[in-house]
Amino acid sequence: MFFTYFGRYLLLLKSVFRRPEKWRIYWKEIIHEMNEIGVGSLGLIAIISTFVGAVMTMQIAFQLVSDLIPSSVIGQINRDSSILELSPTITALVLAGKVGSSISSQIGSMRVTEQIDALEIMGINAPGYLILPKILAGITMIPMLVIMSIFLALVGGLMGGAFSGAVTPVDYINGITDGFKGYTVAVALVKAFVFGFIITSVSAFKGFYVRGGALEVGQASTRGVVISCISILAADYIVTALML
Amino acid sequence: MIEVQHIHKSFGDNQVLNGIDATFEPGKISLIIGGSGSGKSTLLKCMVGLHTPEQGKVLYDNQDFTRMDFESRIPIRKEIGMLFQNSALFDSMTVEQNIIFPLEMFTEMSKSEKLDRANFCLERVNLAGRNKLYPAELSGGMKKRVGIARAISMSPKYLFVDEPNSGLDPETAILIDELISDLTAEYNCTTVVVTHDMNSVMGIGDYILYLYKGKKWWEGSNKEIAHTDVKELNDFVFASPFMKAARERF
């Protein structure tokens, strides 16, 4: 069963990456999807990242009770946790729900109302026209959202530490600047790229092969989110194991 | 001309089409009729390449469409126009964008040429001036007419129509039939219509193919159908007392 689905997924991807009929039209779609996926998710990711950063700072401070450990370590731990794990993974899981369900239901609705059949009869490569712009938008905008998320998580940590008195802003800033390795950001970007591909392609796959009506579109959307989330966590483990 | 040769299609254990042969000629309206589950929509989908038959061929002017890959099918697909049962308009696009879409994909027309063509097609289906409306703002009959306008935007050589009159009032249904008839004559296209509507059968059926349990059961014209003695066909066409009475008078 798993191999049948995985085979269909690979065959769909093969169709997705077929040469576009007209790049100009695809480009318009890519810009539209970048706006939907990237700009449309800015607010949500900003709020979540800021609060996660603030809460992380307070929890780290709560656990570091020894006087021998300088409080700037709170900033260091928050920085590395945000860059390596929290920002890429939480952003991806949130977007799997928001963007993934939207992609599945959009493509699924087009399937059940025969709009995809109409595209195919016109001679248009429906997987390419519908899915390629979403994947390209996902793998470019999700890394950008992750960069923003990292920045806001660190700002949130600064605010959370200052307001709660857990760490002074000076100690916190010393902490996040001490021993910073650019490589960790590269790991975060690789994760974001992989997660962006998973969210868009898996959700599109579930929507593209829907059969039935509105009920099945909803079910496909839910399954798309669940499979995306599990795939994100598995990919997170693999990328971490390979790069760190 | 479209030739269907010995088409077999099944879904799992369910044999839907069982060796269908038929020829659909240009400039004529060919109707595929039959009861629910008789395989008429499946045959149409096999003809346009949405389903792949297990056996048999679909020939477009002697070119074997069934054995072609995606790329080789594109030149034929550009000559196909299709109206779907539920119109299948792209709901994120306006009426005008729906009609222009195939032109944008496959032609190098300028913006004004595309607009002119869209306006021409809309006028042709009596919807001039409705360019900026979205499908959600249209009635069922208007959606069908926009679907026809989109289907003829590329001046099709082959026109496929799936249940054009379903969900329409009788007056609008007759208008749609007349439109299909006029367009077939205008473009000299090979028109294939799947229908349940007996008014269409009697009104525009130059060639009628009756399917029964996945097999070709009868073929002929709308003149011949009134005098046939095939029981299954008579039970289907003249099911109501009104149609029976009409047949006796005919």
Distance of alpha carbon A87 from alpha carbon A68, whole angstroms: 29
pLDDT of residue B243: 72
- Partner residue opposite B50 with nearest CB, options A18, A117, A123: A117
pLDDT tier for residue B173 given thresholds of 50, 70 and 90: confident
Pair of tokens at residue A91: 């952003």
Sheet architecture: strand order including B207-212:
B80-83, B158-162, B190-194, B29-34, B207-212, B215-220
CA dist B151 and B102 (Å) reads 9
The distance of B88 to chain A (nearest Cα, Å) reads 5
Give CATH superfamily name and number for B1-79+158-165+190-250.
P-loop containing nucleotide triphosphate hydrolases (3.40.50.300)
Partners of residue B84 in chain A, C-beta under 8 Å: 114, 117-118
Provide the chain B residues 91-110 that lie in CB contact (below 8 A) with chain A: 91, 101-102, 104-106
- Residue B230 DSSP SS3: coil
Per-residue pLDDT of chain A (244 residues; tens, 9 = 90+): 889 999 999 999 999 999 998 899 999 999 999 999 999 999 999 999 999 999 999 999 999 878 888 999 999 999 999 999 999 999 999 999 999 999 999 999 999 999 999 999 999 999 999 999 999 999 999 999 999 999 999 999 999 999 999 999 999 999 999 999 999 999 999 999 999 999 999 999 999 999 999 999 999 999 999 999 999 999 999 999 999 8
pLDDT (mean) for B133-153:
93
Q: Which residues of B94-123 are buried (b: 16+ CB within 10 A; e: fewer)?
A: bbbbbbbbbbbbbbeeeeeebbebbbebbe
The alpha-carbon gap from A122 to the nearest alpha carbon of chain B, in Å, equals 6
Report how far residue A162's alpha carbon sits from residue A182's, in angstroms, rounded to the nearest whole number.
26
**Region B134-155 average pLDDT:** 93
Q: What is the mean pLDDT of residues B141-149?
A: 92
Radius of gyration (C-alpha) of chain A in whole angstroms: 21
Is residue A87 within a helix (H) or strand (E), and if so which, with residue range? helix A87-95
**CA gap B236, B35 in Å, rounded:** 7
Q: Poorest-confidence range of B94-98, B120-124, B229-233?
A: B229-233
Band (pLDDT 50/70/90 cuts) for residue B203 is confident
B90 to chain A, any CB pair closer than 8 A? The answer is yes
Which 115-174 residues of chain A touch chain B by CB within 8 A?
115, 117-118, 120-125
Q: Please tell me the distance from the alpha carbon of residue B145 to that of residue B154, in angstroms, as a whole number.
A: 15
**Residue where the block lists tokens 């014209």:** B221
Domain definitions of chain A by residue range? 22-243
Q: Does B72 touch chain A (CB under 8 A)?
A: no
**Orientation angle between helical segments B140-152 and B95-106, nearest 10 degrees:** 20
B77 touches chain A (CB under 8 A): yes
| Chain A residues closer than 8 Å to B73 by CB | 123
Take residue B63 and report the two structure tokens written for it: 């070119």
pLDDT of A231: 97
Report which residue type is found at B92: S
**Could you tell me which chain A residue has the CA closest to the CA of B162?**
A114
Q: Which residues of A touch B101 (CB under 8 A)?
A: 122
CA distance A43 to A24: 30
Characterize A68-93 residue by residue with b for buried, 16 or more Cβ atoms within 10 angstroms of its Cβ, and e for exposed: eeebbbbbbbbbbbbbbebbbbbbbb
B78 touches chain A (CB under 8 A): yes
Give the Cα separation of A170 and A167 in Å (integer). Answer: 8
Characterise B220 by phi-psi region: left (phi > 0), alpha (psi -120 to 50), beta (else).
left
How distant, in Å, are the alpha carbons of A34, B9, B20 from that of B16? 44, 6, 10
pLDDT at B249: 67
Q: Are A107 and A7 in contact (CB under 8 A)?
A: no
Rounded CA separation B134/B113 (Å): 22
What pLDDT, on the 0 to 100 scale, is given for residue B202? 84
Mutation target for A interface from B47, B69, B84: give the one with most A CBs within 10 A.
Answer: B84
- Nearest-by-Cβ selection for B105 from A115, A121, A122: A122
Residue A120: list chain B partners with CB under 8 A. 49-50
3-state secondary structure of A38: coil
Strand B158-162 with B80-83, pairing: parallel
At A64, give phi and psi (nearest 5°).
-90, 90
Q: Is the pLDDT of residue B250 over 70?
A: no
H and E: helices and strands count for chain B: 10, 10
> SS3 for A65?
coil
The pTM of the full predicted model, rounded to 2 decimals, is 0.90
Side-chain-facing half-sphere of B130: CA atoms under 13 Å:
22
- How many angstroms separate the CA of residue A23 from the nearest CA in chain B? 10
Within 8 A of B50 by CB-CB distance, chain A residues are: 117, 120-121
Chain A residues touching residue B104 (CB < 8 angstroms): 22, 25
Question: Cβ contacts (< 8 Å) between B89 and chain A: which residues?
Answer: 115
Beta carbons within 8 Å of A184's beta carbon, 6+ residues apart: A80, A83, A84
Task: List CB contacts of A243: < 8 A, sequence separation 6 or more.
Answer: A186, A187, A190
Q: Contact A121/B77, CB-based, under 8 Å?
A: yes
Task: In whole angstroms, give the CA distance from residue A192 to residue B167.
Answer: 48
Mutation target among B82, B155, B163 for the A interface, most CBs of A within 10 A: B82
Please report the ipTM that was assigned to this predicted complex: 0.88
Determine the Cα–Cα distance for residues B164 and B83; give it in Å rounded to an integer. Answer: 7
The CA-based dihedral angle spanning residues A65, A70, A75, A81, taken in that order and rounded to the nearest 10 degrees: -60
Helix (H) or strand (E) holding B193: strand B190-194
Measured in angstroms, the CA of A103 and the nearest CA of chain B are apart by 14
A120 touches B49 (CB < 8 A):
yes
Interface list for A 19-38 with B (CB within 8 A):
21-22, 25
Q: Which two tokens stand for residue B243?
A: 């149609």
> Domain map of chain B by residue range?
1-79+158-165+190-250
Nearest alpha carbon to residue A220 among A73, A55, A92, A107: A107
pLDDT at position B28? 93
Judge: A114–B84 Cβ closer than 8 Å, yes or no.
yes
Pairing type for strands B29-34 and B190-194 reads parallel
Which residue in A has a C-alpha nearest to residue B79's C-alpha? A122
Between chains, do B84 and A120 touch, taking CB under 8 Å as contact?
no
- Mean pLDDT, chain B, whole residue set: 90
